[in-house]
Amino acid sequence: MSEASFDFDVIVIGAGYGGFDAAKHAADDGLKVAIVESGDMGGTCVNRGCVPSKALLAASGKVRELADAEHLSGFGIHAAPVRFERQKIADHANKLVATIRSNLTKTLQRAGVTILRGHGRLEGSQRIGVREKSGVDRLLTARDVILATGSDPFVPPGIETDGRTVFTSDEAVNLEWLPRWIAIIGSGYIGLEFADVYTALGCEVTMIEALDRVMPTFDPDITKMAARHLIEGRDIDARAGVLASKVIPGCPVRIELAEMKSRELVDSLEVDAVLVATGRVPSSKGLNLESVGVETNRGFVPIDDSMRVLVNGNPLPHLWAVGDVTGKLMLAHTAAAQGTLAVDNIQGHSRTIDYRSIPAATFTHPEISSVGLSEADAKELAAKDGFELGSVRSYFKANSKALAELESDGLMKLLFRKDSGEVLGAHIYGLHAADLIQEVANAVARRQSVAQLANEVHTHPTLSEVVEVAYKQAAKQLAKAVVASASAS
C-alpha cells in the first residue's frame, strides 16, 4: 500500500493518557492522526482512577485534618465538630472529571486529531475496524497503529460484584454511599487510598490481604512505619494471609475467608459493602490481535523498549502498544511517556524507555512513594555485578518543616552503589512524599552519584532537606568505602 493511500498516518486505539499523549504528540509533529475510543475520553485515569480518587482523597483529607482534635490542639486550635456532605464530596470529584475530560478532548481537537467514537480492532496489518455504537462498522487504514486500551479492575474467582454492595474502584470513585462497615480486599495502593477515604468519612474498615503481610508491594521498612499510622493508627482490622474465597453481594454482604496456603475455611464475615482492590488486568480482548499473529502473555501485549509489538520475540512492522495493556508499569505517567516515545520511534528517532527512573506514589495521608529498585532487587543486582550495596535512612523527625507541621512521622530510605555512588532507588513515607520522590527520580534517570548530589543546596526549611540529609549520609559512606578499598589494595 502506498503512503498516499492511507487514511491516516497514525491511528491510536484508546484515549487514556497513553493514547492521548501519543495522538497529541503525533499531531503536533504534523502527522494525520485519528484516535478511537469506545468509552469516555480520558480512559481509566481521568474517569475512574487517578483524577476522581485524588479529588476524594483531597476532600476526605480535609475532613480528617479538621477532625483530628489532638493534632490541632498542638497548634492551640480547637475546631467545632466536623460536618460534611457526602454528595458534595462526590460532586467535587465528578466536576473535576468532567472538566479534565473536556479539556483533554478540546486539546486533541485543537491539535487536529480526528476523534472516532466506537470500538476499535485490528483487521490485519495497517488496517483498523471501528464499530460505532449505532452498529455501523468502518474499515480504516493507517501507516502505523498504536494500541493504548488500558486495563480493567481484576475480580478474583469466587467474588461476585453487583456494583452497589460489592464493587471495584470503578464504582467506588462515585462515592454513592458510605457503608457503615466495609471490607477492602487487597492492601496495595488502591486499597490503601480508599481505606484512607472511608476511615476519614467515618466508615469501619476491614482489610483482607491474601499475602503474608499487609502492604506486600511496599518496602518492608516503609511498611513497618506506614502501617502503624495508616492501618493500626486508624483502628483498621487488617487480616493478612487469608483469601476472600467467596463474596456474595446483598444486605449484608457475605464473605468466606480461607487460609491462603491450605485454602481451608477459617472465618466468615457479614459486612455492609466490599471493595475489591486486587489489581488490574489488561484490556486486550476484542482487539483481534490474532489477525496479525500477536499472542498475549496473560492478556498483556508484548513489546520491546521502543514500544514495538512483538511476535515470537521479533518486532511487528507498524504496530505499537503503550500503557497498561503492555503490563510494564501500570501508571498513567508511564503510559504518557510510552505514548510520546512510540511516536518518536515511528518518526525514526531511536528512543527507549528507562523504567527504573519512573516514580510511583500512593496518595494516603501521609503519602508513600518510590523510584528505582527495591532493596531485594538491589541486593540481587549487587551480587550479580559484584558491588557492595549502600543504604541510608533519613527521618522526618529531624526536619524543621515537618516538625513545624507537627507531621514528623516519616522515613526515606536511599539505595546506592558503594563503588560509584550511583543512586539505585529510594522509598519514602511521610508528608508530601509524592513530591519529594521526583528529585530522586531525576537522579536515577541521570545515573548520578551521591558524591555529586550531596553538594546540591536545598531550601531551608523545607521537606526537601530530608533528601539532602540522605544524600550527605550516603556520600560519607561512599567516601569511607573508597578509602577502605584503597587501603586494601
- Annotated binding residue at 189? yes
- Annotated binding residue at 192? yes
Give the whole-angstrom CA distance, residue 317 versus residue 326. 17
Nearest Cα to 268, choosing from 337, 334, 208? 208
Q: Which three cell numbers stand for residue 196?
A: 484512607
Q: Which three cell numbers stand for residue 122?
A: 485490528
Give the whole-angstrom CA distance, residue 243 versus residue 261. 9
DSSP state of 35: E
- Annotated binding residue at 150? yes
- Annotated binding residue at 225? no
Give the whole-angstrom CA distance, residue 215 versus residue 199. 17
- Annotated binding residue at 384? no
- Annotated binding residue at 191? yes
CB contact at 8 A, 411 and 385: no
Q: Which three cell numbers stand for residue 101?
A: 475530560
Give the whole-angstrom CA distance, residue 205 versus residue 273. 10
- Annotated binding residue at 96? no
- Annotated binding residue at 186? yes
Give the whole-angstrom CA distance, residue 174 versus residue 56. 9
Angle between helices 189-200 and 220-230 (to 10 degrees): 20
- Annotated binding residue at 188? yes
Looking at residue 488, its amino acid is A
Q: Which three cell numbers stand for residue 431?
A: 508528608
- Annotated binding residue at 330? yes
- Annotated binding residue at 71? no
The alpha-carbon radius of gyration of the chain (Å, integer) is: 24
Angle between helices 50-67 and 86-111 (to 10 degrees): 150
- Annotated binding residue at 331? yes
- Annotated binding residue at 187? yes
- Annotated binding residue at 209? yes
User: Would residue 92 show up in a list of annotated catalytic residues for this protein?
Assistant: no
Catalytic residue among 119, 427, 458, 460: 460
- Annotated binding residue at 190? yes
CB contact at 8 A, 168 and 275: yes
Q: Which residue has the cell 464499530?
A: 131
- Annotated binding residue at 299? no
Left (φ > 0), alpha (ψ -120 to 50) or beta: where does 383 sit?
alpha
CB contact at 8 A, 278 and 155: yes
Q: Which residues are catalytic?
A: 460
Q: Which residues are annotated as a binding site for FAD?
A: 54, 120, 149-151, 324, 330-333
Q: Which residues are annotated as a binding site for NAD(+)?
A: 186-193, 209, 279
Q: Which residues are annotated as a binding site?
A: 54, 120, 149-151, 186-193, 209, 279, 324, 330-333
